[in-house]
Amino acid sequence: MYTVLFVFGCSEDGLKRDEARLVKSGKATEKMRLFTIDDSSDSLFLRQPTRKIEKESINSKLITLLRKRMLATVTDVDNEGVGIAAPQVGVGVKLILVQRFDKEGEPIEPYFNPEIKMYGDSVNAGFEGCLSVPRYRGSVSRSQNIEVSYLDSMGKKQREEINGFVAVIFQHEIDHLSGVMYFDHVFGGYDALLPYNEE
């Protein structure tokens, strides 16, 4: 008895053909186009759930290129951020980059297949913005300490307690992997957001 598996639309390392083309369209130091809610097709994509990255693919050429181009995007002077998720550049996989303000040198590090395993009881409200929601911000209540499991850049399973502002960044970016936008947590939703120049 033979079993035949057909994977439609997939290319390599778990990326769909169009996603792989998108990643390969520039050098490692070249930023990618940000998907924003200003574009209807981008907005639909940002609401889609993402796929896990297989351990064996973490250090592949394609996933490494994606990670480097995501870094170039989030550190670009025109749209600097403190974190980014793969769906924000049009790739539907579970990869986020987070700036670790709690570590020496404040590095921006990659996290593969991250999951929040525990939310602490301490919750604070704070203003958040998003590269995919340009020009606006809103007040979001987030846990101030969380426990996160993920695969590191060597493919090793890790579990870590994260606190303070960095915990907020993790929650924001991990939300993207489930198609959740920060304004979904804002009372009144998108319509309640404030322009950046207003208090």
The pair of structure tokens assigned to 133 is: 């929601």
Cβ count near 89 (within 10 Å): 23
What is 102-144 written as a DSSP string? Answer: TSTT--EEEEEEEEEEEE-S-EEEEEEEETTEEEEEEEEEEES
The pair of structure tokens assigned to 46 is: 């940002």
Backbone phi, then psi, for 42, in 5-degree steps?
-60, -45
The pair of structure tokens assigned to 26 is: 């520039």
- Which phi-psi region, left, alpha or beta, contains residue 134 (left: φ > 0; alpha: ψ -120 to 50)? beta
Q: What distance lies between CA 6 and its chain's CA centroid?
A: 28
C-alpha–C-alpha distance, residues 171 and 185, integer Å: 11
**Residues involved in catalysis:** 173
